[in-house]
Each structure stands twice: as structure tokens, then as C-alpha cells.
Structure 1
Amino acid sequence: MPTAPRSVELKLTGLVSSLRCCQLFTGLSPEDLTAIAGFTQVLRLAKDDYLFHEGEASRGFYVVQAGAINVHRVSAAGKEQVIHVFRMGESFAEAALAAPTGYPANARAVEPSAVLLIPKAPILELIGRRPDLALRMLGSMSAHLRVLVGALDDLTLKDVESRLLNWLVKHHRGARAGVIQLPGTKRVLAAELGTSSETLSRTLARLRDGALITVAAKTITVHEPARLVAMLRRNLGEG
């Protein structure tokens, strides 16, 4: 019996490796991962290409293989509100598998990206046979809900400076030597903060001129974390 072409084997191996990097599939057996990889599709997006639009019928859910995907909604007034920017190894849109109204938001690549589409019919069939996978997906959706709650909290910070200060304070806690790695470009950070690149640049410049931070292409170094916290509390009327 002829063996599969080498290119097909390599593609399958690459898909299995990408799926294994996703928390949703961590711990699955090689057989399960190979089965899922067998019906997974690779979608390549240029910067600003849309993966799906709000209300579009669900084709399945997604795992970011490379790049970054901005999931957002647009208000009646035309204002875009970013829900989350998903990056390599993260899954999203699992909830749409069971939603009769389709995708609840829009998804757009913020840089050249590769996304794995896990098609709806075969994954639902697998979930029906594997309750443990269903529990994993519930856990993933719970994590997405926590992100939404965090986003709602951030939106209570009305001005851009407060939102940026809040972001710096939160990310400084896990930074080594005060160096925060930026989530892609500054445009991506601006989208996460719900502002424009120009406004973000001006706000960063004010903090830099105050010797609070140093801004590089891919990092922000925090020099005065206590002063940042004090500024944030003052902006919130707490100090």
C-alpha cells in the first residue's frame, strides 16, 4: 500500500505541533491530536484581512498559529471596541459552535497571520464521543469570560492616560527588571486600550518626558512603578 507523500506527512506533523501548543489540547494523546489535525484547515491572512464578521454563520473555532487576531465589536456609532487580541497558541470563537446567531463579534488580523480553523461538524462529532474535550472547551470559554470581565473593568477608566497607567501597572508585576514586552506593535497596544496610535504615542511621550518610562520598539521599561500607581490612584480619585 503506498505511503502518504512526504509533504503531507510534514504538514500533518506541523499541525499536530501547533495544536499541542494550544492549552485547549494540552494533554491529548498523539492519536487524538492527529485525528484533529486531519480535519484542521490552515487559513493565511494579510494584515487587516477579516477572518469573520459579527453574525456570520459559524464555520468552527480557531487557533492562532502565527501573528495576532483582533476580536472586536463595532457600536451603532461606528466606534470599534477591542475585546481581545489573540496570539500564537490561543484559541477563540469556541462559543460560536453552539450559537444559532453565528459569531458574536468581528475578527481581523492586525499583522500577517496564520490561523487554524477547527471545522464545526467534525469537532462536534468528536466532542460527542469525548466528554473530557467538552470540559476542556468549557474551561477555555471560562477563561475568555474572565478576559471580558477584565475588559469591562478597564473601560471604567475613561481617559487614555488612566487606561495606559492601568496597563503598565498590571504588566509591570510580571516583568523582569521592569521591562514589559509589547504585545506586537504599538498599534496593537493602542487597539487593546481602545485608542488611536497617535493618542497612545502622545501619552507615552508624556510619561517618558517625566522619566517614568523608557519606550523602545518592542519594550517599555518602567523606572518609577510607585509613581505610576500614585498617578493612577490620583486619576481615579483615590489619592
Structure 2
Amino acid sequence: MDKTQAVAGIGLFAGLGPKELAALAGIAEVRSYAKGQDIFFAGDKALGFFSVASGKVRIYQTSLAGKEHILHVFGPGEVFAEVAVFSGGVYPASAQALEDGDYLFFPRERFRRLLAEDPDLAMNMLGLLAVRLRQLVKKIEDLSLREVPARLAAHLLLLAAQSRKRVLSLDLPKGQLAAYLGTIPETLSRVLRRFSDEGIISLSGNGVEILDAARLERQAGGGGGGGGGGGAGVGAGVGGGGMPPAAGRG
């Protein structure tokens, strides 16, 4: 892996010059994890933070009853466990690789020294923390106000905006996706079938094709109608601007 090129692709470091990027690449450690491999557990000593170079990672917490709740899913160019930079202590949640992938690890103390020398990097870090706070507030709002159909619709629109495609591969197995959306697999399957029956999406194995983005956006924006179940939100708001144009269906 070209560490300098990988560092340049990290959103947190946008706007930094070649000298700063080279310094960051100099402290970064390349780590590889297989699908299903644990990266760290909640309560482990927080020695630094990570960026995804390839693959995907889920961040989750486990209740006393053993139930997992997925907080975030991150992909290439995104960072996680950044709270360790400021707080030290322990990781507040666990991380597990969803795919085989490579990661960059930034040791806390070495990164803090770079922060002290570079105001632009420090401002980027503060901006990231502000984004994380907004995401948590959004999750709480979704937990209180949105039904399962609205959460699922927003999640599908987010995947479409990120991939610039209408034919999507679900980023989590259905059981984990249900937990992420704050519902149970049976309810998730029922809502997917309803969307399919109504001509909003088309289902094929683990794939979903968005057939009617406008109706999906209305589902995401409203209460979603009887889907039942409480739960967490999808993390970030979405709009119509990220959707690619519809392909001809013949």
C-alpha cells in the first residue's frame, strides 16, 4: 500500500499540503483484518484511531443481555475511534471487520504532536467531532420519531448516494441491518417485500434496485406508515441530489 496516497484519500485530511500528508503517512501503521475479525473491543485501552483503506468496518456495542447494537458502518476514506485522540482511556465501543481489508492506524501520542504543530489539521479534527455529534443527535431523533419504513428508505438512499448507483448490494447481512435500523429481521423482510410489491424497489438475493427514487424519498421523509418497531436511525440525512439518473428498463 502507498501510505501517502492512502492518507490523501482520507476525508479528515482534506485540504492539507504534501508536507503534512507525508508527516501523517510517516506515523501511520498498515494493518490488515479478515472478514469477521475483531479490531478492538469496548473497554480496550485506546492507543490511537483508524482509517479504512479498503473494506468495511462496523462499530457496535453489546448490551448486558448480549444483544448487539450497530452504531456505525464505515468504508474507505473514513476514520473511526477518533475519540481516542483526545480522551485516551478506553474505546467506548467495539469494532469488527465486515470484509477483508486494509487499515491505517494512527498512534495517539504521535498524532497529538502533529495536531499541536498544524492548526489546519486541528480544525479538521474538531469538524469531524462536530459531525459525529450531529450523527448521534440524528440517531436519537430517529429512535423517537421514525418508523422502520422511513429508516430503511433513508438507508437505501444513503447507499445509492454513496455508490452513485441504483442497483445496490446491502452493506450488512439482513440480521445486522435489522439491528442497525433498530428492528428485527422479520420486520425488515416485511418492509422490503412491501417496497417491492409497491414497485419502489426490486429485490434479487442480497441486491436491491431502486425503481422509484421519488417514492423512496417520500418514505424516508415521512413517518413511513405502519412498519412497526422502534429503533435507531441511519446516521445521516439524504436528499435527492445524490441519486444517479434512472437507467432505461426496456
Query: CA contact under 8 A between 1:60 and 1:119: conserved in structure 2?
Result: yes
Higher relative contact order at CA 8 Å, sep ≥6: structure 1 or structure 2? 2
Cα–Cα, structure 1 residues 146 and 180, in superposed 2: closer, same or farther, change >3 Å?
farther
Paired AA for residue 85 in structure 2? L
8 Å contact kept, 2:147–2:224:
no
The two structures have a TM-score, normalised by structure 2, of: 0.76
Counterpart position of 1:147: 135
Match of residue 166 from structure 2: 179
CA contact (8 A) 1:165 1:232 kept: no
Change over 3 Å in CA distance of 1:115–1:207 after alignment to 2: same
8 A Cα contact 1:20 1:33, kept in partner: yes
Are 1:88 and 2:76 an aligned pair? yes
Aligned-pair distance for 1:120? 1.1
Distance across 1 between alignment mates of 2:135 and 2:84: 17
Q: Tell whether the 8 Å contact from 1:62 to 1:94 is kept in structure 2 after alignment.
A: yes
**How far off its partner does 1:129 sit?**
1.5
What residue in structure 2 maps to residue 120 of structure 1?
108
Contact map agreement 1:213 1:220 (CA 8 A) in 2: yes
Determine if contact 1:23/1:89 at 8 Å carries over to the other structure: yes
Q: Distance in 2 between matches of 1:134 and 1:175?
A: 26
In the other structure, the counterpart of 1:234 is 225
Look up the match of 2:212: 223
Output the amino acid matched with 1:49. Q
Asked if structure 1 preserves the Cα contact closer than 8 Å seen for 2:200 and 2:215, the reply is: no
Q: What is residue 46 of structure 2 aligned with on the other side?
A: 58
> Larger C-alpha radius of gyration, 1 or 2?
1
Quote the Cα distance in structure 2 between the aligned partners of 1:214 and 1:164.
14
Code of the residue aligned with 2:4 in structure 1: it is: V
Residues 52 and 108 in structure 1, CA contact (< 8 A), matched pair in contact too: yes
- In structure 2, relative to structure 1, the CA distance for the partners of 1:164 and 1:109 (3 Å cut) is same
Distance 1:231 1:207, change over 3 A: farther
**CA shift for structure 1 position 186:** 4.4
Structure 1, unpaired ranges of 5+: 1-10
TM-score, length-normalised on structure 1? 0.79
Distance 1:50 1:221, change over 3 A: same
Which AA in structure 1 matches 2:225?
R
CA gap of 1:151–1:180, structure 2 versus 1, over 3 A, is farther
Distance 1:174 1:47, change over 3 A: closer
Q: 1:39 aligns with which of 27, 33, 36?
A: 27
Q: How many residues align?
A: 224
Q: Check conservation: 2:149, 2:227, Cα contact below 8 A.
A: no
Check if 1:105 corresponds to 2:89: no
Does the CA-based 8 Å contact 2:52-2:77 persist in structure 1? yes
Q: CA deviation at 1:224?
A: 7.2
> Residues of 2 paired with 1:199 and 1:121: CA distance?
45
More displaced, 202-211 or 179-188? Answer: 179-188
CA gap of 1:153–1:236, structure 2 versus 1, over 3 A, is farther
RMSD: 3.2
| Counterparts of 2:107 and 2:164, CA distance in 1 | 43
Give 2:241's aligned residue.
none
For structure 2, which runs of at least 5 residues remain unmatched after alignment?
Answer: 229-250
Q: Kindly tell me: are residues 197 and 235 of structure 1, through their superposed partners in 2, closer, same or farther at Cα, counting changes over 3 Å?
A: closer
Identity of aligned residues (%): 33
Q: Which moved more, 1:16-25 or 1:188-197?
A: 188-197
Q: Deviations over 1:182-217 (max 9, x none)?
A: 453544644532456565344312321333321244
Deviation at 1:15, TM superposition (A): 0.9
2:67 counterpart (79, 83, 86): 79
